[in-house]
Structure 1
Amino acid sequence: MLVENITDLVIFVAVIKVGNLSAAGRELGFSSAVVSKRLQRLEEQLGVRLLNRSTRKLCVTEEGLRYHDYCVRVLAELEEAETLITSGHSQPKGTLRVTVPAAFGRLHIAPLVPEFLRRFPELRLSLHLSDSKVDIIEEGYDVAVRIGDMKDSNLVARHLGIDRRKVVATPAYLRKFGTPNTPDDLAYHNVLLFANPAPLDHWQFIDPEGAPCSVKVTGNFETNNCDALRAAIYADAGIALRPVWDVWQDLKAGTLQVLLPEHTHPSFKIQAVYPSRRHLSQKVRVFIDLLCESFGDTPYWDVTT
């Protein structure tokens, strides 16, 4: 038995998203009475209760949760089918929701926004900068930029670059406190730690012979904010382990110096990821294409270091 009206599914998904009938109605342009009637019709047709209603709140039943997941996928497939048919005849339209790590987004994604909007004037871009790893399917994002191993098998990834790390400090700090010659020498230095969420106080190295080692580092400052860490570095407060994409201009200018250059660090993938679907939506495709075009096979931050 098929649902008589696809709008019923849209209403049901909207109610789950916003949590009440009135707000869902306002979002979709229906009265709360119409929303209630459509939900009742959907439940009668399915023969199950999807929502438990009270005067204060709505509670989704177990059947409702399962049905909601299917509805989200069905509606996404319908949207993509429409996009697939019309993509050869029109510009991408609608809202593209993107989430990226805060510092990487500020440095490398935000500068591309004007060109992206110029090329695709019928798109609205919602760009979320956060170091919290969100569930892009659950929270409704179309695409995310991720740094690190991808553990979610429900996502498709496209390579953007490599996240390489360097130990750095200002020349002024090194003149005052000396330059470490081995990873073990870091024990005699103040190390500025990035915390996301816990302080990254065990630094991994690979020596010139290819042997791995781990060194515990300590210091008087930790933060989960890249700008705050940068400020501490430039206050000559200590040594830090930073991604090349964050400090490539500083290294090129000589305002930061690479330490222990003969020791490398484990690198991580930088990827654009999106929900696994049979057809990649046009708006996601053009966004990822622009990133790949801008970064190239070897991103500009790697070329200059």
Structure 2
Amino acid sequence: MLVENITDLVIFVAVIKVGNLSAAGRELGFSSAVVSKRLQRLEEQLGVRLLNRSTRKLCVTEEGLRYHDYCVRVLAELEEAETLITAGHSQPKGTLRVTVPAAFGRLHIAPLVPEFLRRFPELRLSLHLSDSKVDIIEEGYDVAVRIGDMKDSNLVARHLGIDRRKVVATPAYLRKFGTPNTPDDLAYHNVLLFANPAPLDHWQFIDPEGAPCSVKVTGNFETNNCDALRAAIYADAGIALRPVWDVWQDLKAGSLQVLLPEHTHPSFKIQAVYPSRRHLSQKVRVFIDLLCESFGDTPYWDVTT
């Protein structure tokens, strides 16, 4: 049995996304009455209830959740098939859903958005900035930028750069409290901790001879927000371990100073990842190509440090 009209699937997915019949109708250009009628027709054809509806609340049934996952995949495959057929004959079209780490996205992805939209005016970009590691397949994202090892075998990765870490502090803090000469000296300093999700209070080092060591650090402030951590650093409140991509301009300007420069830290991959399919959709390809073009073989934040 096949669904009579693919639009019914589009409506169903939109209703789940926004959680409201009227809002879904406005997004798609239908009245709430039409949306309700189409959902009812879909349920009758399937012989199951997908949604429990009341005057105040809309709840998805267990069957509705399972069917929603299939609908998202089917619609994505149809969009990809259309893109493949028209590739080389037209601009990429449709909606590209991207999720990226919040601070990295704000600093290095968001500035590329105007150029991306200028090049591909028939694409609609939905950019999600969050430090939560979402399941891009389950949540319907086309591509994600990930920092760290990739453990999901259902995703394909393309290299964008390396996330290198540096211990930093302001010159004013160092004048007041002194400069640590060894990792063990950090025990005598106030350390500002990044918590995502748990505080990173064991810092890993590799000494000049290549031997690894771990140092427990403590301080009076922890946060899961890069901007809040930056504010604390610039208030001369303590020492922090930060990615070079976050502080490269500060290091270049001299407003932050690298500490323990002879001790390095484990680095992480920065990658664009997307669901493993036989064909890479045109809209994903052009987005990743722009990232690679903009970052280059050695990203600009590494060149200047």
Corresponding position of 2:245: 245
> What pairs with 1:169-208 in structure 2 (closer than 5 Å)?
169-208=169-208
Encode CA deviations 1:234-265: one digit per residue, 9 max, x unaligned: 33322111111112222233332222222211
Cα 1:195–1:284 shift into 2, 3 Å:
same
Paired with 1:114 and 1:44, the residues of 2 have a C-alpha distance of 45
Aligned with 2:203: secondary structure?
strand
Aligned with 1:190: secondary structure?
coil
Cα 1:214–1:300 shift into 2, 3 Å:
same
Paired with 2:213 and 2:254, the residues of 1 have a C-alpha distance of 28
Moved more, 138-147 or 159-168: 138-147
> What pairs with 1:157-168 in structure 2 (closer than 5 Å)?
157-168=157-168
Paired with 1:190 and 1:268, the residues of 2 have a C-alpha distance of 25
Encode CA deviations 1:177-203: one digit per residue, 9 max, x unaligned: 222121111001111222223322111
Shift of 1:205: 1.3
Shift of 1:138: 4.0
Shift of 1:167: 0.8
Encode CA deviations 1:22-48: one digit per residue, 9 max, x unaligned: 333333333334333333333333333
Encode CA deviations 1:59-78: one digit per residue, 9 max, x unaligned: 33333222221111111111
Encode CA deviations 1:256-298: one digit per residue, 9 max, x unaligned: 2222222211111111122333332222211110110111111
Moved more, 190-199 or 236-245: 190-199
Aligned with 1:95: secondary structure?
strand
Moved more, 87-96 or 148-157: 148-157
Moved more, 139-148 or 156-165: 139-148
What RMSD in Å do the two structures reach over aligned CA positions? 2.2
Moved more, 38-47 or 87-96: 38-47
Cα 1:49–1:176 shift into 2, 3 Å:
closer
Shift of 1:93: 2.4
Aligned with 2:48: secondary structure?
coil
Cα 1:41–1:288 shift into 2, 3 Å:
same
Cα 1:35–1:216 shift into 2, 3 Å:
same
Cα 1:106–1:7 shift into 2, 3 Å:
closer
Aligned with 1:209: secondary structure?
coil
Gaps of 5+ in 1: none
Corresponding position of 1:254: 254
Paired with 1:176 and 1:49, the residues of 2 have a C-alpha distance of 67
Corresponding position of 1:111: 111
Moved more, 209-218 or 46-55: 46-55
Q: Is the 8 Å Cα contact of residues 52 and 61 (structure 2) preserved in structure 1?
A: yes
Moved more, 273-282 or 64-73: 273-282
Q: Is the 8 Å Cα contact of residues 161 and 271 (structure 2) preserved in structure 1?
A: yes
Moved more, 133-142 or 75-84: 133-142
Cα 1:191–1:139 shift into 2, 3 Å:
same
Q: Is the 8 Å Cα contact of residues 83 and 93 (structure 2) preserved in structure 1?
A: no
Moved more, 76-85 or 44-53: 44-53
Aligned with 1:124: secondary structure?
strand
Moved more, 33-42 or 176-185: 33-42
Paired with 1:251 and 1:37, the residues of 2 have a C-alpha distance of 60
Moved more, 200-209 or 74-83: 200-209
Moved more, 255-264 or 48-57: 48-57
Corresponding position of 1:133: 133
Q: Is the 8 Å Cα contact of residues 72 and 140 (structure 2) preserved in structure 1?
A: no
Corresponding position of 1:143: 143
Cα 1:67–1:265 shift into 2, 3 Å:
same
Normalized against structure 2, the TM-score is what?
Answer: 0.90
Gaps of 5+ in 2: none
Cα 1:269–1:64 shift into 2, 3 Å:
same
Corresponding position of 1:292: 292
Shift of 1:54: 4.2
Cα 1:73–1:174 shift into 2, 3 Å:
same
Encode CA deviations 1:107-130: one digit per residue, 9 max, x unaligned: 212222222222222223333333
Moved more, 191-200 or 239-248: 191-200
Aligned with 2:96: secondary structure?
strand
Cα 1:35–1:285 shift into 2, 3 Å:
same
Paired with 1:149 and 1:295, the residues of 2 have a C-alpha distance of 20
> What pairs with 1:1-305 in structure 2 (closer than 5 Å)?
1-305=1-305
Q: Is the 8 Å Cα contact of residues 145 and 271 (structure 2) preserved in structure 1?
A: yes
Cα 1:25–1:47 shift into 2, 3 Å:
same
Paired with 2:16 and 2:129, the residues of 1 have a C-alpha distance of 25
Question: How many residues are paired up?
Answer: 305
Aligned with 1:132: secondary structure?
coil
Aligned with 1:280: secondary structure?
coil
Cα 1:217–1:33 shift into 2, 3 Å:
same
